[in-house]
Amino acid sequence: MDTNMEDVGRVPAELTSSNFEPTTIPTLDGWIESLMNCKQLAESDVQRLCEKVGGPTIIPPAVYHRDRARAGLASRNSKPPLPLSLSLPPSAATVGKGRSAEGLSAREVLQDESNVQPVKCPVTVCGDIHGQFHDLMELFKIGGSNPDTNYLFMGDYVDRGYYSVETVTLLVALKIRYPNRITILRGNHESRQITQVYGFYDECLRKYGNANVWKYFTDLFDYLPLTALIDNQIFCLHGGLSPSIDTLDNIRALDRIQEVPHEGPMCDLLWSDPDDRCGWGISPRGAGYTFGQDISEAFNHNNGLTLIARAHQLVMEGYNWSQDRNVVTIFSAPNYCYRCGNQAAIMEIDEHLKYTFLQFDPCPRAGEPMVSRRTPDYFL
């Protein structure tokens, strides 16, 4: 289907700001109920979910801009905060635990979060999902429903699977409904360039007849936090470390509100991988680096960390320790691409920072062939 990129994201006349009402809790709950049944939202509802349309504005005291100011960046290098409605409910930074950010869009919730988003225990940490919606439902069945269970997802919600639209829409809706119960980080697939190659763009065209929903989400991806820090001890991110980053404050100083660059520290955080060889190496992925045990040990020591938890790599048992247990990889898409035969896993961290891994197999689906376990092909 041909798409005029100049029309992508343009608001149709019937969706002007005068037709938009603040998103209420009953509305969110209705959307979540539909999404849990794998029913996509209307295009106008996706827009309401992702971005505020119209209305008077104020400047919010966003954590993102506070972090950059503390890091000593000149204001001319900072992008202005996104405007909020004057009739704001409590912001995502001040709502009580488990309360909804009622009336806010996802962009407004996410922009108020840090590049190193603090997370408290207990929490369940999850790896790649990649549009495997029914397996996400299996994950919630194994790990517990939200908001009863606190979740931290480490990126790659879209591409490859058949239900990227439903998967990412559900996670974003849950983020607005329970902003302090669920944390969603950015992965290397939360990118305009990558999603045009690996499926999300084409899925949006197929399901909506245009690329507007793709644009709403890829614009939103720019606001996703890059990393999270669990009780100041467990550092979570999608990919890995960067030779440009020595401290967590280096990460807090980054301007994340942009497309994922081809190189540099932001790129590295989303693309790098641990390696058996010491030091830094050239990544076979063509982006990011490989890093050895000496690198992860030094980073953990310098930042007072006990563990780096990351995703990004398919591991056949769903999780894999490496680098003398300085790093753990978690992968939460079982039978990846519906053919790899791998198990998936999530990591439960209790209030004492003790962790347990829960492994699970694909959710049974009628007509899906059984796949034997084998060494998979290399994937981005």
In this prediction, residue 380 carries a pLDDT of 54
Which tens digits make up the pLDDT trace of 323-348? 999 999 999 999 998 989 999 999 99
Of all residues in the chain, the percent with pLDDT exceeding 90 is 73
What burial letters (b/e) apply to 288-324, b meaning 16+ CB within 10 Å?
A: bbbbbbebbeebbeebebebbbbbbbbbeebbbebbe
CA–CA distance, 373 with 9 (Å, rounded to integer): 42
In this prediction, residue 24 carries a pLDDT of 86
What mean pLDDT, rounded, does the chain reach? 85
Which tens digits make up the pLDDT trace of 183-238? 999 999 999 999 999 999 999 999 999 999 999 999 999 999 999 999 999 999 99
Residues 6+ apart with CB under 8 A from 354: none
CA–CA distance, 318 with 91 (Å, rounded to integer): 36
Closest CA to 215 of 46, 9, 16, 5: 9
Q: Could you identify the residue written with the tokens 């849990």? A: 36
State the burial class of residue 374 (Cβ atoms within 10 Å of its Cβ: 0-12, 13-18, 19+). exposed
Phi, psi of 319 (to 5 degrees): -150, 155
Confidence of residue 352 (pLDDT cuts 50, 70, 90): very high
Residues 6+ apart with CB under 8 A from 323: 274, 292, 293, 296, 297
Which tens digits make up the pLDDT trace of 17-28? 334 456 788 999
From the candidates 130, 134, 189, 238, give the one annotated as an active-site residue: 189
pTM over 0.85: no
126 sits in which H/E element: strand 123-126
Query: Cα dihedral sign for 316, 354, 239, 303?
Result: negative
Which tens digits make up the pLDDT trace of 114-145? 999 999 999 999 999 999 999 999 999 999 99
Is 130 a catalytic site residue?
A: no
Q: What is the DSSP string of 26-55?
A: HHHHHHHHHHHTT-PPPHHHHHHHH---SS
Which tens digits make up the pLDDT trace of 72-130? 554 333 333 333 222 233 333 334 344 556 688 999 999 999 999 999 999 999 999 99
